[in-house]
Amino acid sequence: MPEGLRPVPAVGLSDTERLILDAIQEGFPIGPRPFLELADTLNERHGLRLTEEGLIDAVKALKAQNYLRRLGGIFNSRPLGYLSTLCAARVPEDKLEAFAAKVNSYPQVTHNYVRDNPLNVWFTFSYENEKELKGLLESLRRETAVEEIYELGAKRIFKIRAVFRLSPD
């Protein structure tokens, strides 16, 4: 399996790094200095001594080590005039790294992960209309030479809040 495509085990994380990852998942502050606000919250709740700069450095290190892929908002696309769909692809092992990199290069992708399944790469596209989605999928097929990419449109929307707790709290 190419480096960085499967989740990295949480083994080796410090208690502080685990608390940081938990806090980021549970609600990243929106404001002029979110890292300062988050550092203050972590310090108050857990008796830490994080600075704004120290927290930014810790987040950069977690990203560099593949514990964190992306830090950003995920919006409810429908009220904003967008649609979203889950896609699954059958990608040969030797094309996984290049395929994942290509999928991740699309700004319309919010999630991308490898599964132990014949359809081994799953990702979510947000788009404005069916024509855009068809164009995105055609482009992805052409640029990666992966033909088996399926769009799995939702019949019903379920919003599930997934938080992967890493700290023992």
Number of domains in the chain: 2
Query: What does the pLDDT profile of the chain (169 residues) look like in tens digits?
Result: 444 444 445 567 999 999 999 999 888 899 999 999 999 999 999 999 999 999 999 999 999 987 887 787 777 778 888 888 999 999 999 999 999 999 989 988 888 888 999 999 999 988 989 999 999 999 999 999 999 999 998 777 766 666 667 776 6
Is the Cβ–Cβ distance between 166 and 21 less than 8 Å?
Answer: yes
CB-neighbour burial class of residue 9 (10 A; exposed 0-12, middle 13-18, buried 19+)? exposed
Both 84 and 19 in a single domain? no
Please name the helix (run of DSSP H) or strand (run of DSSP E) that holds residue 140, with its range, or none: helix 130-144
Residue 159 within any structural domain of the chain: no
The predicted model scores a pTM of 0.64
One domain, residues 96 and 60? no
Q: Are residues 57 and 84 in the same domain?
A: no
